[in-house]
Amino acid sequence: MYARTLATFALVAPASALIRFGCSQLVVERLDPLVTPGLNPSPHLHQIIGGNAFNVTMNPSSGDIAERATCTTCQFSEDLSNYWTAVLFFRARNGSYHRVPQVPNIGFEGQKGGMTVYYMQDGLANYAQTSKVTAFKTGFRMLIGEASYRTKEQANRFRQITYTCLQTLGTRYPETMHLPKEPCPAGIMANVRFPTCWDGKNLDSPDHMSHMSYPELGTFENGGPCPESHPVRVPQLMYETIWDTSMFNDKELWPEDGSQPFVWSMDDSTGYGSHGDYMFGWKDDSLQRAMDSPCYVNCPTLKTQSIAEMNKCTLPSVVDEKIDGWLDTLPGSPTGV
């Protein structure tokens, strides 16, 4: 498995020191313990990976999720964090909706849905990965993206929340900020990259974003410095989710006006409302140890589990609603968020 992962990785974007790993689906349900803690159900549907301590409410006062979770769907078994995004649907000509299945990246065959997660010290294109980063702390959480955004002008506030129209599973360029307008033979990859400068004090903030910042000048990728207000350089966290649109790619099924038929679970067909959520849950200092060692994808300092073990970690949905098959409305009938 690792040999294939490495070979694939080298084709995609060679780098020598970063961690990249697969995580199977934990659950798909209408909960959002970061934005709407305690609310069951939340306004729109999410797909969630990681540790099985995921719940309606996950306030830092309820304790370290690395202690409370007993398993994780991620390949690195010391990572009990939770990661989640919105869910992509196909809207048929008759107005019915169908959830788009998720598939793993090449090299992670057997992984059940889910995502690929990266923690990077430098941009993907930097072979050496030489910059130092400070790992996130217990109780840290953040969000990037805004579910209600529908225009490019709004989405310009964020960097690197993008889509790749997959010609094959190996396609990585170009990336667009809007959902692809033409059928993508191997699916649509949704990419979410988080900001990389932390204020060094707050584990969270009211909007779940302002304790974080992008570099003051330049970009993370070209080594831009962090602003004085957010001086602590943290790893760049990135999610890749592959939505397997192949069963919906026949243009006969697409809207007659020529528009594209895919829509996020918050009723966004532009793509500008894409967002990702993160709750840190690595055991002890495992993430810092990994970031401090010259790791190359398969990181010997970390404990790994097999894909079969990842797939065994599951969590029943606590929200009683139909999300599979053809649906008359998006779950929760969201109006924009």
Of 153 and 250, nearer to ligand NAG (C-beta) is 250
Find out whether 139 and 266 touch, Cβ atoms under 8 Å.
no
Minimum CB separation of residue 255 from ligand NAG in Å reads: 12
DSSP conformational letter for 332: T
Of 203 and 327, nearer to ligand NAG (C-beta) is 327
By the criterion CB under 6 A, which residues form the site for ligand NAG?
52-53, 55, 92, 94, 96, 326
| Cis status, amide bond into 206, omega within 30 of 0 | no
Of 69 and 197, nearer to ligand NAG (C-beta) is 69
Of 12 and 92, nearer to ligand NAG (C-beta) is 92
Minimum CB separation of residue 69 from ligand NAG in Å reads: 8
Cα(201)–Cα(134) distance, rounded to whole angstroms?
13
Cα(194)–Cα(197) distance, rounded to whole angstroms?
9
Burial class (CB in 10 A: 0-12, 13-18, 19+), 98: middle
The residue among 177, 165, 198, 189 whose CA lies nearest residue 278 is: 198
DSSP conformational letter for 309: H
* Dihedral, CA of residue 210, residue 214, residue 217 and residue 222, to nearest 10: 170
Minimum CB separation of residue 14 from ligand NAG in Å reads: 40
Minimum CB separation of residue 94 from ligand NAG in Å reads: 4
Render 214-229 in DSSP notation, one character per residue: --SSS-TTTTPPPPTT
Minimum CB separation of residue 328 from ligand NAG in Å reads: 7
Of 255 and 294, nearer to ligand NAG (C-beta) is 255
Of 40 and 219, nearer to ligand NAG (C-beta) is 40
Minimum CB separation of residue 112 from ligand NAG in Å reads: 19
